Amino acid sequence: MKGEKTKQRVLEAASDLFWSRSFHSVSVADVAAAASVNKATLYQYFDSKEALGRAVVIDARRRTIDFVFEGAWAQADEPLDRLKAIYERVYGSQQAAYDCSGEARGCPFVNIAMEMAIENKSVRDEVRQTQEAFGAYYARILRALAPGPLPRDAEERAVAALVRNMNGAMVAARIEQRPEALLEAAETAVFIAQSAVASAAAPTSPAP
């Protein structure tokens, strides 16, 4: 019981630090200090730094799905409103981090994946699954938006485009230190979704 709380503290500290800086430039000592925990204690909950990294990804995925996607669903009913809500919610957390620490941090998943994609397949796969989980929500939006059923590959292509669009926005936010990039990308997202549905209805024009 008590241990669970400690573990959570470590997880939060690690999430925060890995997100802000990077996996490799944060030391286990940094995490332990931020969590007010002894390093040895940390190792009782996580087998290695790598395992901690993986756990962070998994935990962030859960929280992101809850807050961003489920939140968007709860907040709006129309598919495009939900899409916009997703971006607004992401924008909100970028802005919150920016206000609190002066940093637009971008995407925790993209960040760690760009860093570890080659050296650590397990983290990369965890991020890949995360993105697929997000994609499932985009697919639901597309289906709700379409008058009839979308062709399988048209949907897949549109989902992939939406995932890429979010990631591109997150990259921009971090490089330019501008949370607003999320809001700007929201328009592109709406556009991608609309066009995918439209071009499925009239399959003569190319899908995005």
Partner DNA sequence: GATGAATGAGGCTTCATTCAT
Partner DNA sequence: CATGAATGAAGCCTCATTCAT
* φ/ψ of residue 50, rounded to 5: -60, -45
Confirm or reject binding of residue 13 to DNA (CB under 7 A).
Answer: no
85-91 LR contacts (CB < 8 Å, sep 24+) = 86/137, 86/166, 86/189, 87/166, 87/169, 87/182, 87/183, 87/185, 87/186, 87/189, 88/182, 88/183, 88/186, 90/166, 90/169, 90/170, 90/182, 91/179, 91/180, 91/182, 91/183, 91/186
- The neighbour count for residue 141, using CB atoms within 10 Å, is 25
User: According to CB under 7 A, which one of 8, 38, 101, 122 is a site residue for DNA?
Assistant: 38
User: According to CB under 8 A, which one of 51, 168, 183, 198 is a site residue for a second copy?
Assistant: 168
- Compare residues 85 and 162 and give the one whose CB is closer to a second copy: 162
Confirm or reject binding of residue 15 to a second copy (CB under 8 A).
Answer: no
- Compare residues 48 and 129 and give the one whose CB is closer to DNA: 48
Confirm or reject binding of residue 29 to DNA (CB under 7 A).
Answer: yes
Confirm or reject binding of residue 39 to DNA (CB under 7 A).
Answer: yes
Confirm or reject binding of residue 48 to DNA (CB under 7 A).
Answer: yes
Q: 103's torsion region: left (phi>0), alpha (psi -120 to 50) or beta?
A: beta
Alpha-carbon span 175 to 113, nearest angstrom: 16
Alpha-carbon span 47 to 197, nearest angstrom: 46
Confirm or reject binding of residue 68 to a second copy (CB under 8 A).
Answer: no
User: According to CB under 7 A, which one of 8, 27, 122, 129 is a site residue for DNA?
Assistant: 27
Confirm or reject binding of residue 57 to a second copy (CB under 8 A).
Answer: no
With contacts defined by CB under 8 A, name the span among 48-56, 62-70, 73-81, 124-132 that binds a second copy: 124-132
Confirm or reject binding of residue 103 to a second copy (CB under 8 A).
Answer: yes
* φ/ψ of residue 143, rounded to 5: -65, -40
* Residues found near a second copy in the complex (CB under 8 A): 20-25, 103, 105-106, 110-111, 113-119, 124, 127-128, 131, 157, 160-161, 163-169, 171-172, 174-177, 181, 184-185, 187-188, 190-192, 195, 206-208
Give me the residues that bind DNA (CB under 7 A), please.
1-6, 26-30, 37-41, 43-44, 47-50
